[in-house]
Amino acid sequence: MTDSIAVRSLFASYRILFIMNKIISAVAIAIALACFVSVHAQTISEKAREIQNSAIVIDTHADTPQRFLDENYDIGSTDPKDTGHISLDKAKAGNLGAEFFSIWVEPETNQGHFARHTLDLIDSVYEQAARHPDRMMMAFSVDDIERAHREHKLAALLGIEGGHSIENDVRLLRDFYRLGVRYMTLSWSNTNEWADSSGDINNPKVEHHNGLTDGGKQIVLEMNRLGMLVDISHVADKTFYDAIAVSKAPLIASHSSARALTNHPRNMTDDMLRAVARNGGVVQVNFYNAFIDENYRKAAEAQAKDRDAAVKAYTDQLKAAGKTVTYLDSDRIEREWAAKIPRPPLSSLIDHIDHIAKIAGIDHVGLGSDFDGVSGATPAGIDSAADLPKITQALLDRGYSADDIRKILGGNLLRVFGEAERVSREMQAGK
């Protein structure tokens, strides 16, 4: 009897082990399959690599100068722990050929010295180029971008984000052009003295102008004369229509997406997209999750009150301790809150590129990532400039031709930049 029980117990033990082995094997197979699918989904085909490497890839908006200035960040950094979007190695891995570095002056903390801080940020980009002359060069024209491409260097260009930087002085606008600034966003999230912003258009405490003032229209024309691209990202809708009516050169939206897909005032309506097409301009799609995914936008909006309170509490604590508060301090807290919301898939970004290409036309869409300004809030798979080939692969998968992909990657922006240069020459010649 005892032997019989022992035998039955032994068989039961073997049966349990057999079942456990099957479960473990099934889990192992599932994990292996998931890993395969994940790797396969991110595989860049030989054709996509060929397109990426043959294109002049241009991104029209990166906030890395804040890091240069406030963190003493070196763009040549090889630190594997660095979570920034832009470095020379990451740019090379993604074949990023030209970057417009954003010269953004936070209006509240820099009251009274907008122009001075603008100069500090401009200088920070020049210093990076001087530190790495073999891999990076300052660029001021289409020819410079093409030369940098031939020499396998990152072309560094400058774009002022927010018309408040010129302190209502057209002479400063000209000075900034002489220093290399090649676009200016007419407003940031704050309405200035001559251009309404989408960021505060519904705030009754802010004095608005119903678009551009007469002085603002003259600034647009002076930008045309100089050859500085007029950027309408961030502006109120009426400001957009005023600018497009006044400008003699094609406009750009340096980092905006499609409002039909994601209902954010920073994005552009289909009517605005068509207007840009008629103007000959280009809309550079922003990678920020709240601009490219409606579910993410709603989640971010729902946490806004608590997030802003957390940012204020942290910065107030720094001020109380006698420390200088920088943009990066608030950005650190905002990244923590962004991490609480699941990242949307890469397809959300591609949907916006696809939509703008369909509404405005293939000649009027490009890339304006907002890298280093939206840390932690880019779509899944886009963690830095090194991941740009994934966009090419995704476009290829949707049936875009190699020529059309090259337009999106940078060809369209080069065309618009060249048109702005042509208009400038004609205006200066009195034609």
Evaluate whether residue 51 is within a structural domain. no
Q: Which of 200-214, 308-322, 416-430 has the lowest mean pLDDT?
A: 308-322
Reported confidence tier of residue 42, pLDDT bands at 50, 70, 90: low
Q: How far apart (Å, rounded) are the C-alpha atoms in residues 235 and 393?
A: 32
Q: Which two tokens stand for residue 424?
A: 């400038």
Are 25 and 140 within one domain?
no
Reported confidence tier of residue 134, pLDDT bands at 50, 70, 90: very high
Residue 227 has pLDDT above 60, yes or no: yes
**Residues facing 154 on adjacent strands:** 136
pLDDT of residue 335: 85
Evaluate whether residue 305 is within a structural domain. no
Evaluate whether residue 289 is within a structural domain. yes
> How far, rounded to the nearest angstrom, does the alpha carbon of residue 387 sit from its chain's CA centroid?
13
Evaluate whether residue 118 is within a structural domain. yes
Reported confidence tier of residue 116, pLDDT bands at 50, 70, 90: very high
**Averaged over 236-248, what is the pLDDT?**
98
The more confidently predicted of residues 225 and 431 is: 225
pLDDT of residue 365: 99
Contact between 216 and 223 (Cβ < 8 Å): no
Residue 12 has pLDDT above 70, yes or no: no
pLDDT of residue 325: 81
pLDDT of residue 21: 46
Between CA 155 and CA 162, with CA 157 as vertex, the angle to 5 degrees is: 160
Are 135 and 198 within one domain?
yes
Are 124 and 15 within one domain?
no
Measured N-to-C along each axis, helices 412-428 and 214-226 cross at an angle, to the nearest 10 degrees, of 100
Are 15 and 74 within one domain?
no
Residue with tokens 């599932």: 30
pLDDT of residue 318: 85
Contact between 327 and 66 (Cβ < 8 Å): yes
Q: What is the CATH number of the domain that holds 282?
A: 3.20.20.140
Are 144 and 23 within one domain?
no
Evaluate whether residue 123 is within a structural domain. yes
Residues 108, 109, 113, 119, CA torsion sign:
negative
How many contiguous H segments (helices) and E segments (strands) does the chain have?
17, 9
Determine the straight-line distance between the first and last CA of the chain, rounded to whole angstroms: 112
Are 421 and 367 within one domain?
yes
Closest to 99 in 3D by CA, of 183, 164, 185: 183
Report the relative pairing of strands 229-231 and 96-104 from DSSP bridges.
unpaired
Are 26 and 65 within one domain?
no
Evaluate whether residue 144 is within a structural domain. yes
**Over the stretch 49-79, which tens digit does the pLDDT of each residue have?**
999 999 999 999 999 999 999 999 999 999 9
Rounded percentage of the chain residues whose pLDDT exceeds 70: 90
Residue 14 has pLDDT above 50, yes or no: no
Reported confidence tier of residue 334, pLDDT bands at 50, 70, 90: confident
In eight-state DSSP terms, residue 325 is P
**Averaged over 325-347, what is the pLDDT?**
88
Evaluate whether residue 233 is within a structural domain. yes
Are 32 and 125 within one domain?
no
Are 196 and 131 within one domain?
yes
Return the half-sphere exposure (C-beta side, CA atoms, 13 A cut-off) of residue 70: 19
Q: Which of 94-108, 138-152, 297-311 has the lowest mean pLDDT?
A: 297-311
Q: How far apart (Å, rounded) are the C-alpha atoms in residues 362 and 85?
A: 27
Are 67 and 33 within one domain?
no
Residue range of the domain that includes 8: 1-41
Closest to 56 in 3D by CA, of 366, 279, 267, 274: 366
pLDDT of residue 29: 35
What b/e readout covers 92-128, taking b as 16+ CB neighbours within 10 angstroms? bebbbbbbbbbbbbbeeebeeebbebbbbbbebbeeb
Contact between 347 and 394 (Cβ < 8 Å): yes
**Over the stretch 372-395, which tens digit does the pLDDT of each residue have?**
999 779 999 999 999 999 999 999
Are 84 and 230 within one domain?
yes
Are 11 and 149 within one domain?
no
Evaluate whether residue 331 is within a structural domain. no
Q: How far apart (Å, rounded) are the C-alpha atoms in residues 224 and 229?
A: 7
H or E element in which residue 166 lies: none
* Number of domains, the chain: 2
Return the half-sphere exposure (C-beta side, CA atoms, 13 A cut-off) of residue 227: 17
Measured N-to-C along each axis, helices 388-397 and 346-359 cross at an angle, to the nearest 10 degrees, of 60
Reported confidence tier of residue 245, pLDDT bands at 50, 70, 90: very high
In eight-state DSSP terms, residue 60 is E
Mean pLDDT across the chain, nearest whole number? 91
Residue 30 has pLDDT above 80, yes or no: no
